[in-house]
């Protein structure tokens, strides 16, 4: 990554006494943040990742005294091997797809913003850690930093926990940067337009015409909705605006929620159940998009593209397509640059 210093800073440094310690300041940083990933597709790495992820009080809202024995005694002894196998099916020569794509997004955003801003990336769980990347930005002279959680729809278990982790780092810093946080962009015209353009091109490139476009968002326990989390409403609004923007009268749009975990009631309808219901009901050609994910990951590449395909085709479906996320494509990067430049207004 490039590190920039302003001309004002350079003039200031020239006027300092010879024995003054070198201090870099005056810079502006952007930290792209996504959920996280294990460092390798093996049980040991997955166990370490899941321990951090599932110990977050915003992710699992069960009192620790009740949850930790279950987590350590059951979940971390049974789930890592299964999850490691799932990760091994989507792992690339660049490592985790989520990490590789997020790194590419940061690199391409850096190219677009040039030297006026330093762009880095981090994961909420796993590496690179948010605290380490915030420190790296400060060390490079960035006194103003935009936290950019790449979650279009706000959820306490995603966006809020990013801010929690940044605050945890700030508590240890004597010299703190000024921070801004990218707001949720579930209904932003730039986001909807990018999705419509990108998904439309992918649909046009298929060798079949889908009867149904299933919009699958990550699920959350239903109780979060009743406790006041806006996530469900944000997903529904994204789906409605996207259907209007895509304007495909021959395609039926269906909104679902994936990745159920545990025994609690989750947001419905569930993606896996809907895939089977659609096939059983006579739908033969179906495509799935995952607009709540900014980058392809285990949940899109394994849960949807592999498991989802098996579920739909196994229940009688004939044609299935898992559409890619925006990733680091031009439509997605145009959108990200627009959002970031807007939030940096007054700084650059």
Tell me: the pLDDT tens digits for 98-110?
Answer: 999 999 999 999 9
The verdict on residue 288 lying in a domain is yes
The verdict on residue 8 lying in a domain is no
Neighbour tally for 155: CB within 10 Å: 24
The verdict on residue 249 lying in a domain is yes
Q: How far is CA 226 from the centre of its chain?
A: 24
Domain count, the chain: 1
The verdict on residue 317 lying in a domain is yes
The verdict on residue 147 lying in a domain is no
Label residue 7 by pLDDT band (50, 70, 90). very low
The answer to whether 122 and 128 are in contact (CB under 8 A) is yes
Cα–Cα nearest to 179, from 11, 30, 20: 30
Residue 290 belongs to a domain with what CATH number? 3.40.50.1400
CA distances from 329 to 62, 126, 295, 324 (A): 39, 25, 10, 10
Task: Give the model confidence (pLDDT) of 109-123 as tens digits.
Answer: 999 998 889 999 999
| pLDDT over 60 at 250, yes or no | yes
Stretch 227-237: mean pLDDT, rounded? 98
Percent of the chain surpassing pLDDT 70: 94
| pLDDT over 80 at 296, yes or no | yes
The verdict on residue 1 lying in a domain is no
| pLDDT over 70 at 3, yes or no | no
Stretch 228-252: mean pLDDT, rounded? 97
| pLDDT over 80 at 9, yes or no | no
The verdict on residue 200 lying in a domain is yes
Stretch 146-162: mean pLDDT, rounded? 98
Neighbour tally for 158: CB within 10 Å: 24
pLDDT of residue 263: 82
- Rg of the chain's alpha carbons, rounded to an integer? 22
The verdict on residue 130 lying in a domain is no
**115: which DSSP letter?**
G
Residue 316: domain span: 189-322
Coil, helix or strand at residue 144: strand
């Amino acid at each position: 990554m490039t590190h920039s210093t302003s001309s004002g800073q350079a003039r200031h440094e020239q006027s300092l006494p010879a024995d003054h310690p070198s201090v870099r300041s005056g810079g502006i940083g952007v930290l792209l943040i996504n959920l996280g990933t294990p460092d390798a597709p093996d049980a040991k790495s997955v166990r370490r990742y899941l321990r951090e992820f599932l110990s977050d009080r915003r992710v699992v809202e069960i009192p620790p005294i009740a949850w930790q024995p279950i987590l350590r005694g059951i979940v971390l002894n049974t789930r890592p091997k299964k999850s490691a196998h799932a990760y091994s099916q989507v792992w690339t020569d660049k490592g985790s797809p989520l990490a590789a794509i997020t790194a590419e997004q940061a690199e391409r955003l850096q190219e677009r913003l040039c030297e006026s801003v330093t762009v880095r990336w981090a994961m909420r769980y796993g590496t690179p850690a948010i605290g380490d990347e915030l420190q790296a930005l400060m060390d490079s002279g960035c006194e103003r930093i935009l936290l950019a959680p790449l979650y279009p729809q706000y959820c306490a278990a995603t966006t809020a926990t990013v801010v929690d982790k940044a605050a945890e780092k700030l508590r240890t810093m004597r010299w703190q940067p000024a921070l801004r946080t990218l707001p949720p962009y579930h209904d932003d015209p730039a986001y909807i337009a990018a999705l419509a353009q990108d998904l439309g091109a992918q649909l046009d490139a298929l060798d079949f015409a889908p009867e149904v476009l299933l919009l699958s968002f990550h699920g959350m326990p239903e109780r979060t909705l009743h406790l006041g989390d806006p996530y469900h409403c944000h997903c529904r609004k994204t789906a409605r605006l996207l259907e209007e923007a895509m304007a495909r009268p021959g395609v039926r749009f269906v909104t679902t929620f994936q990745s159920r975990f545990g025994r609690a009631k989750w947001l419905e309808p569930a993606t896996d159940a809907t895939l089977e219901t659609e096939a059983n009901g006579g739908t033969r050609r179906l495509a799935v998009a995952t607009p709540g994910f900014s980058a392809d990951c285990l949940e899109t590449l394994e849960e949807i593209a592999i498991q989802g395909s098996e579920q739909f085709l196994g229940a009688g479906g004939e044609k299935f397509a898992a559409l890619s996320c925006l990733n680091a494509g031009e439509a997605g990067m145009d959108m990200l640059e627009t959002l970031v430049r807007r939030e940096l207004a007054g700084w650059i």
